[in-house]
Amino acid sequence: MNFSQMQERLRLELLRRIQRGTLSVSLLARQTGFRQSHLSNFLRNRRHLSLDAIDRILAAQQMGTADLLPGDAMPDWRVGTEIAQIPVVSYAAAMNEPHIRPSSARGQVWIAGALLQSIRERPLQPRRPWQRFVAITAAPGDSQAMDPIIQPEATVLLDRHYNSFVPYRPTRPNVYGVCQDGRLKLRYADFVLDRMVLRPHNRAFPVELIQLRPGESPGELIVGRVILTLSEH
């Protein structure tokens, strides 16, 4: 990757963070000491940055140069891999990062490649370029709502190429990671009368409804199907 490509990947990553609402031009200006106009021109591809300016932006956003590498440079499962290394990431990264950046990985879990090869996928077309498998650590609200299916602080493996409502096994409902108001939840999910229905396993928790926006597909809200949970308890 040359210097121009590095600048372009930085520009796209900053725009992605602005679109997600985790960054603004004014905030970046405060963090780096650059003028907003200077940064806006860079984001609009009207000017380039010096190497020192790139370093300051990377430091302000807690990024490293490895974060600017192409997504396919990240370790990922491949057919024929005996042992697959799956990144453990935050809920936000699982929802929003098609390819997991090095700084987003909080750890790794190792899964037998033969197991992953045997898992069927059902992606919507826009999901195929995404890195398929990621792992998250179950939040307390999810482990309580899905108790005993998901144990506290369990490592939950998601298949992001399965965002269909078709049951993987006819006699067992799928557990999904679902995006609700920008937050990921682990629940059973159905689509009924233009609404997504989120159901807990623990009946002490409420059933929740998600009203889709015009033009929104229900599959877009499915982050992935839960294929495995690992717990020390």
pLDDT in tens, 149-173: 999 999 999 999 999 999 999 889 9
CATH code of the domain covering residue 150: 2.10.109.10
Rg, the chain, Cα only: 20
The reply to whether 62 and 85 lie within a common domain is no
Q: Is the pLDDT of residue 45 over 60?
A: yes
Residue 70's pLDDT band (cuts 50, 70, 90): low
Q: Maximum Cα–Cα distance for the chain, whole Å?
A: 59
User: By residue range, what is the domain housing residue 28?
Assistant: 3-68
The reply to whether 93 and 166 lie within a common domain is yes
Rounded CA-CA distance 77/87 in Å is 10
DSSP type of residue 24: -
Report the pLDDT averaged over residues 197-220: 91
pLDDT of residue 130: 87
pLDDT of residue 100: 87
Tally of structural domains, the chain: 2
The reply to whether 140 and 212 lie within a common domain is yes
CATH code of the domain covering residue 9: 1.10.260.40
Rounded CA-CA distance 73/76 in Å is 9
Report the pLDDT averaged over residues 60-78: 64
pLDDT of residue 81: 62
Run of H or E including 114? helix 113-117
Residues 43, 25: contact at Cβ < 8 Å? yes
The reply to whether 143 and 220 lie within a common domain is yes
Q: Is the pLDDT of residue 77 over 70?
A: no
Residue with tokens 């960054």: 23
Q: Is the pLDDT of residue 91 over 60?
A: yes
The reply to whether 90 and 198 lie within a common domain is yes
